[in-house]
Amino acid sequence: MTKKGRVFSGARPTGRQHLGNYLGAIRNYVALQAEYDCVYCIVDVHALTTVETTQDLKLNTFEMALDWLAAGIRPDESILFVQSHVPEVMELHTYLSMVTQLGKLTDLPTFKEKIRQQPENINYGLVGYPVLMTADIVLYKSDVVPVGIDQAPHIEFAREIVRSFNYRYDTKALIEPQVKHTEVLKVIGIDGKDKMSKSLNNHIELASTPEETIKRVREMVTDPARQRRTDPGNPDVCNVFTMHKIMSPQVEVDMINTECRIAGIGCVDCKLRFATNLNKHLEPFRAKRAELVSQESYVQDVLHDGGQRARAIAQKTMIEVREAMQLP
Ligand code: AMP
Ligand code: TRP
């Protein structure tokens, strides 16, 4: 089947993926494979801009590859690779930096947020983060980039860099990418308050055992106004109900929606039902993951092969880029 175009997306290697990563990104990566020629990248070079993600880089890259493959990225069809395996991206980053205004980079909300988060480590790489991201996207002549809403300014920025480059060098070598927002979905952590994330330790790992999952789900914060089993609850403000709406069969969602309001069902029962549905949903993922864990060299081969296929595309683009720039 002819595909609609090329999709590219990347994520920093944060190790084992959680439910937020799955519902907010991975599920979408998997679905896009049916219609697009997909390139998915574990961006280890971007990870070096922050200290936490610099640690255990190799292990985290491997764990993330395991999760993406177990979730359904098909390496025979799509390219799954590690950013640093294609050094051309660093070269392109340098060239693109010459058509990028520094003031625009330092004005980006994502940069300002990083300054607040790590005032002691405002490194040069952090400023250039969106330029490297642009290099990732354009190196593979990507048409569509699926990302969360927080990354939208970066894609708009990439489009500007592409226009500047093509104009400066009077070329059409680079393609302006389109953003594709993943379903607007922000998964809240088990604290019922913040976005699910590993750093806040409010996450549920996809690779946990069913027992660990039940334990984590039991810790989920529900409607705070519901103190006792006999108090009626309000599902509209309960994160467990939100998760039921995403993962559970409609009849069960309807039942909880009614019964919670009249104290017909308690929070413990409601959470157990969610844990059961979640475990059922994750069963094939966990089976596939266990199989992959026992085939470490297969996973390394997938990444190696993906890197080679990605590099072949990158090298072609770089020939055009250097030619346009009149680099000998
Ligand atoms: P991160 O691990 O923060 O680099 O995120 C990797 C991908 O997962 C990005 O595309 C995020 O948008 C997505 N993601 C991470 N956490 C969540 C969450 N709590 N809810 C929805 N999407 C998320
Ligand atoms: N900046 C993205 C993030 O923090 C990761 C990323 C790097 C990316 N290069 C990319 C995303 C290219 C999409 C396309 O989540």
Site to probe by mutation for ligand 2, drawn from 17, 50, 110, 136 as the one with most ligand atoms within 8 Å of Cβ, is 136
In angstroms, the CA 5 to CA 33 distance is: 11
Based on the structure, what is the number of domains in the chain? Answer: 2
Identify whether 1 is part of a domain: no
Pocket of ligand 1 (CB under 6 A): 11-12, 14, 20-21, 24-25, 147-148, 185-187, 195-197
233 and 128 belong to one structural domain:
no
Asked if 113 and 227 sit in the same domain, the reply is: no
Beta 79-82 vs 144-147: how paired, if at all? unpaired
- Give 21 Cα–ligand 1 centroid separation in angstroms: 5
Give pLDDT tens digits along the chain (328 positions): 689 999 999 999 999 999 999 998 999 999 999 999 999 999 999 999 999 999 999 999 999 999 999 999 999 999 999 999 999 999 999 999 999 999 999 999 999 999 999 999 999 999 999 999 999 999 999 999 999 888 999 999 999 999 999 999 999 999 999 999 877 578 999 999 999 999 899 999 999 999 999 999 999 999 999 999 999 999 999 999 999 999 999 999 999 999 999 999 999 999 999 999 999 999 999 999 999 999 999 999 999 999 999 999 999 999 999 999 999 8
Domain assignment present for residue 99? The answer is: yes
Give the per-residue pLDDT at 328.
85
Scanning the structure block, which residue is given the tokens 């009149």?
Answer: 326
Q: Which two tokens stand for residue 57?
A: 């880089």
State whether 313 and 276 are in the same domain.
Answer: no
What contacts 22, CB < 8 A, 6 or more positions away?
71, 206
Ligand 1 atom 17: the closest Cα is on which residue? 20
Give the separation between CA 193 and CA 220, rounded to whole angstroms: 10
Residue owning the nearest CA to atom 3 of ligand 1: 197
Tokens coding 149 = 């809403």
CA 130 / ligand 2 centre spacing (Å)? 8
The ligand that comes nearest to the alpha carbon of residue 151 is 2
**Lookup result for tokens 């297969």:** 298
166 in the same domain as 20: yes
CA of 197 to the centre of ligand 1 (A): 8
The pTM is what?
0.95
Same domain, 282 and 300: no
For residue 193, is it within any domain? Answer: no
